[in-house]
Structure 1
Amino acid sequence: MKKLGALFLSLFLTLSVLGTANAADKPTRVWMDGTEVQLGASNPVTENGTTLVPMRPILEKLNVAVLWNPKTQTVTGTKNGLELSLQIGSTTATVNGEKKKLDAAPKTINNTTYVPIRFIGETIGYKVEWNAAQRTITLKTAAPQAAGSTGFLWKAENKGNTVYLLGSIHVANDKMYPLRPEIESAFAASDSLSVELDLTKVDQTAMQKFLTEKGIYTDGTKLKDHVSAETYNKVVAILKANGLPGDSFDNYKPWVVTQSISSLQVQSEGYKPDTGIDLYFTEKSHKMNKPVLELETAELQLNMFNDFSDGLQEKLLKDTLDSLAQADKETAETSIDLLSEMWIKGDEETLTALTKSSASEPEYYKALLGDRNIGMFNHVKEYLNSDTKSTYFVVVGALHMVGDDGIVTKLQKDGYTVVKQ
């Protein structure tokens, strides 16, 4: 478990808020099969809840042949026998001669033609997803695995109520999808979704305000006054290696630096919060108008970090720095990839070992798991004891499920029957 950087990796099994705090004020970005589409100086715009993007960059990336008729203000695209046509200012498009209704009409802004990206992508055959927390639009070609990811799923029943418990990883990549049918079926059968946080509704401005008020030193001291010279020098080295000034984090507390560097590592290895398991189901729920219930708040999670002792804050920072350095020296399989692999295989033995590793730091374990598990457990008990005879789908960080203080363990100790699915 030392190879995994247990404290570093446990953050991505327990905290939804990781990866969202730095997303405020980001322009909308478009990704296609893991590669960002370069839109030049023209940013996407939103009309009536529909995102429009510059026409030529997206169509060229999709390998669509484009014909522009300036007289009729019509763009025609062709690819593999498919022909689509859109007209500036019109909410009617045609696909192989058949009329289609658009949610927003194409338009011209500063001599650049903008088209609705969801219509374009889905017409060409891509799956189009929007992530509000990261302000990203993702186009994906279908590349299903022979068998879906196993994950960690349990089922509890009481008084006619059913609770499905899914242990999540909050950052993921496309390799984790599709999920096995049992997980998707449990979600489909549920009346509501419960998550730590609804990341699509996180107030990014409020989070930035929180970080400014609580994550910055106001007493005249700097980061180097609160951590060892060795740790500080490693922070400086990472900043410079990424083309940033070495003093960029000088005013920030170690927990803020840890979160920023953690996000840097997972993103550099191709993992993103917008593909995390909980966000995947949150977005599906919103599309289906399925209620989404929150078990915690972003402030609760961030306050937990801020309340860590100076010693623990430095230890977490050092663990993160060491994990990043190890990934540079060895293969990526020494860090976040192993976490993904664990989830895909449903490796409960490794998950339990991570829980035990976290328990080696009592302050960390109590705040991250012990105290928070109690609140989540109480919510689940309320669901099971409800008179509504409903089905609930609960998705929280996988580390909250197992171990002596895990939700599943607590339910079993209280006499509930919990079955691994």
Structure 2
Amino acid sequence: MKTYQRIRVTAVLLLGLILNVNAEPLWSNKQSGGDDWLLGTIHLGDDSLSTLPSSIKMAIDSVDIVIIETDLSRVSPSDQQRILMQYASLPAEVTLKQTLSEPVYKQAQQYFANYGVNIEQFSHFKPWLVALSMVQMSYAKLGLNAENGIDNQVQKYALQQGKKVVGLETYHQQINFFNQIIEQFPEVTNDDLILDTLSEIKHFSDLPQVMITAWHNGDMQVFEKIYRDTLGTSKFDAAAEQILLINRNHNWVSELEPVLNQQKVLVAVGTLHFVGDKGLPLLLKDKFELTAPNGY
């Protein structure tokens, strides 16, 4: 079961106010009299991300609450695995091979064979877990892991400093998002999911390093391009964008508004929530006095 224990929901910067140019994507509303910070994160990192920048630590030190996507410190590894199995298991009478066309199943089989993995170990799991496992394996090969992810480091540092840490979503909710893609968009097939994953692994093999470099530089234009390039080419892309980004952004705005008005807060969520015409900056524009220099 080790294949599944390390799988984390990857869904991808946040809302912003004042961008520190040539630095990590950290924003503040202090110039307009506020006391909140907003941080764009990367879920998986390499050694270059292994140390949390001092600017982020200072921001955490200055607030009362740190808000993240999911507070995994409240969910034990065994519970994470149990929840994952609950949502990712196929009905007892169904196998993975039956959920995919023969050509697509063979492509997935070959992908795993290249890593020395027998696809049969996924026989009783849904295709979206297979797709996440493919991505996880490709990222691990590049030396990326959740321990070096900015989300993980923010949470650890906040807890060490005695800050209150709040998750916007439960682990149950995050895992179930992948079921919703298929359930709410019947035009998207399991074949689409696997083929899209294989295509992105092949054609965007340099994407993790591009994102890490852009994060270090606070280069939001790169993230805008990534958003356009990876979420606008297929039916699956459109469905994933709606479930994993747009819907969550709207839900988060409702949760964040009263907290930001009443407390000193740092919010840290994945980078791609911060870009696009349905991104958090635009959704918050009418509710908060958001400003950003340099034309962004």
> What TM-score, normalized by structure 2, do the two folds share?
0.81
Contact 1:373 1:400 in 2 (8 A): yes
User: Which string of whole-angstrom CA distances, capped at 9 and with x for unpartnered residues, describes residues 294-314 of structure 1?
Assistant: 111111111110122262543
Q: State the secondary structure of the residue aligned to 2:122.
A: coil
Code of the aligned partner of 1:372: R
TM-aligned CA distance change 1:186 to 1:166, over 3 Å: same
TM-aligned CA distance change 1:406 to 1:185, over 3 Å: same
Tell me how far apart the structure 2 counterparts of residues 273 and 191 of structure 1 sit (CA, whole Å).
25
Aligned to 2:274: 401
Aligned to 2:164: 291
Code of the aligned partner of 1:176: L
Tell me how far apart the structure 2 counterparts of residues 245 and 178 of structure 1 sit (CA, whole Å).
36
Contact 1:258 1:317 in 2 (8 A): yes
Aligned to 1:245: 118
Structure 2: where are the runs of 5+ without partners? 1-8, 14-20
Alignment pair present for 1:206 and 2:205: no
Runs of at least 4 residues of structure 1 off by over 4 A?
157-161, 177-181
Contact 2:70 2:169 in 1 (8 A): yes
Contact 1:157 1:384 in 2 (8 A): no
Code of the aligned partner of 1:314: D
Code of the aligned partner of 1:343: W
Deviation, 1:407, is 1.4
After the TM superposition, which residues 361-380 of structure 1 pair with which residues of structure 2 at under 5 Å, given as runs? 361-380=237-256
Aligned to 1:323: 200
User: Which string of whole-angstrom CA distances, capped at 9 and with x for unpartnered residues, describes residues 31-89 of structure 1?
Assistant: xxxxxxxxxxxxxxxxxxxxxxxxxxxxxxxxxxxxxxxxxxxxxxxxxxxxxxxxxxx
Code of the aligned partner of 1:315: D
The number of residues matched between the two structures is: 272
Aligned to 1:275: 148
**What RMSD over aligned residues (CA atoms) do the two structures have, in Å?**
2.9
1:258 to 131, 141, 146: 131
Q: State the secondary structure of the residue aligned to 1:395.
A: strand
Contact 1:12 1:171 in 2 (8 A): no
Q: State the secondary structure of the residue aligned to 1:162.
A: coil
TM-aligned CA distance change 1:244 to 1:180, over 3 Å: closer
Q: State the secondary structure of the residue aligned to 1:317.
A: helix
Contact 1:194 1:292 in 2 (8 A): yes
1:344 to 210, 213, 216: 216
Contact 1:170 1:276 in 2 (8 A): yes
Deviation, 1:161, is 4.5
Tell me how far apart the structure 1 counterparts of residues 84 and 283 of structure 2 sit (CA, whole Å).
34
Aligned to 1:356: 228
Code of the aligned partner of 1:382: P
Alignment pair present for 1:232 and 2:105: yes
Deviation, 1:152, is 1.6
TM-aligned CA distance change 1:383 to 1:160, over 3 Å: farther
- The structure with the largest alpha-carbon Rg is 1
TM-aligned CA distance change 1:175 to 1:312, over 3 Å: farther
Deviation, 1:197, is 1.1
Contact 2:12 2:42 in 1 (8 A): yes
After the TM superposition, which residues 152-163 of structure 1 pair with which residues of structure 2 at under 5 Å, given as runs? 152-156=25-29, 161-163=34-36
Contact 1:193 1:392 in 2 (8 A): yes
Tell me how far apart the structure 2 counterparts of residues 324 and 354 of structure 1 sit (CA, whole Å).
14
Q: State the secondary structure of the residue aligned to 1:232.
A: helix
Aligned to 2:17: none
Tell me how far apart the structure 1 counterparts of residues 277 and 209 of structure 2 sit (CA, whole Å).
26
Q: Which has the higher strand share?
A: 1
Tell me how far apart the structure 1 counterparts of residues 101 and 210 of structure 2 sit (CA, whole Å).
30
Bigger RCO (CA 8 Å, 6+ sep):
2
Aligned to 1:13: 12
Percent of aligned pairs with the same amino acid: 24
Tell me how far apart the structure 1 counterparts of residues 24 and 31 of structure 2 sit (CA, whole Å).
24
Contact 1:196 1:295 in 2 (8 A): yes
